[in-house]
Chain A
Amino acid sequence: RQRTRPQLLRAENTMLNTSTKTPTGGFSFENTRRNAVLEANLSEKGYSAPNARKTGTTIAGLIFKDGVILGADTRATDDMVVADKNCMKIHYIAPKIYCCGAGVAADAEVTTQMMSSNVELHSLSTGRPPLVAMVTRQLKQMLFRYQGHIGSSLIVGGVDVNGPQLYSVYPHGSYDKLPFLTMGSGAASAVSVFEDRYKPNMELEEAKQLVRDAITAGIFCDLGSGSNVDLCVITEKTVDYLRGYDQPVQKGLREGTYRYKPGTTAVLTKTVTPLTLDVVDESVQVMDTE
């Protein structure tokens, strides 16, 4: 019985690969060697490969009398250039649980979206509203699995049956549970404000002012943070997402104008050359507007 060798390109327009492994999903490490060689070649010539865009952030969280307040700035940087002046760093995870993300922007975004889906599936499967501790546990297990290559630091805050809680998770998978937390490149500036003025069981307005001041300190003292302050107030009854709560950095107004009056430059000579164009071909195409 004759059997012809299958060709690589078939009439059905599917490419065939000759490996015998069944394909699996997830990360593919096929190109890592090629990328390493390319990067070595580029750096020999003096160029560098593009970097992942980091958020260069100040994020902060605080537990007050009735719940949790999360705050973040809104600048995303790409090495030394501001890539996004108004990005959202406070992500939704569950109706009463929100998460601020710092570090590599894409990692933080995808991590929080996956967490949100997982939390929803889990709470459908258990039939109970999700716990903040559950979100933290899944996050830290996932980040530890990838050994810090997923560069996202997160502050998870929310209200569940155990009351208001605040956790911070680092890219390698460690976590902290504290009454106030800051992360990102502006963390040092923000935490100094917290250390100075934090008291347990603060009132809502006082707590909002304190978080706003901490994020503003990060915006002014850190190059990687800027633009507006976003706040998210989570209590047992409501969630208030205050986008653009404060805009401490306003764009300045120009003092003078650089426009010149018409006639400032004298015209010395003027030559007019008409271009004669002949009609070569004329065609009419009816547009089908039905």
Chain B
Amino acid sequence: MCFVQNTRGLRSQLKDSVPVTGLCPQAGPYGVQDSLRRGFSSVKNELLPSHPLELSEKNFQLNQDKMNFNTLRNIQGLHAPLKLQMEYRAARQIQRLPFLPSSNLALDTLRGTDDTIGFEDILNDPVLSEVMGDPHIMTEYKLGVL
């Protein structure tokens, strides 16, 4: 099933439900600032985004999914988004090792983004990046050991 972009204003439902990730105090696992991994902290960095679009771009896919699922729930009932979210969860688990770039083909097909081209395909393609995450650290993080 492929969604068209939902342009109805469902702003009221978005306001409380979007998690503002990445701008919380940079506490590590022990509640203290984790300088090694996240760099120096500053209050300004944590409270304000550096660019007006930073937050909206970070959460864009999440917001789109939320709006689409809401519309689907209103039209077809609760079962439709539930089934689809189950499929999304299954597709999201098909990944390579954490430090290697995954194609996410099943997830793209479900979302309908396998036949669209956006800036996420042209700019900063993870496949072509010159740096990779540290394999040990990323696997430990994924397994929850870190």
| Interface: B12 (CB within 8 A) | no
Interface residues on A, range: 35 or more
What is the CB-to-nearest-CB distance from A154 to chain B, in angstroms, rounded to a whole number? 17
Q: Which residues of B contact A85 (CB under 8 A)?
A: none
Interface string of B92-105 (1 = CB under 8 A from A): 00000010010000
| Interface: B53 (CB within 8 A) | yes
Q: Which residues of A contact B138 (CB under 8 A)?
A: 20, 22
B57 and A25 contact, CB distance less than 8 A = no
Known contacts being A16-B133, A17-B133, A121-B117, is A25 close to B123, with CB within 8 Å? yes
| Interface: B77 (CB within 8 A) | no
Q: How far is A146 from B120 in the complex, measured between Cα atoms in Å?
A: 13
Q: How far is A121 from B121 in the complex, measured between Cα atoms in Å?
A: 14
| Interface: B16 (CB within 8 A) | no
Known contacts being A29-B51, A29-B54, is A20 close to B133, with CB within 8 Å? yes
Interface residues on B, range: 35 or more
Q: Which residues of A contact B131 (CB under 8 A)?
A: 14-17
Interface centre among A3, A29, A122, A149 (most CB of B within 10 A): A29
Q: How far is A271 from B78 in the complex, measured between Cα atoms in Å?
A: 100
| Interface: A27 (CB within 8 A) | yes
Interface residues of A (CB under 8 A from B): 3, 6, 14-29, 32-33, 36, 110, 114, 117-118, 121-122, 124-125, 141-142, 145-147, 149
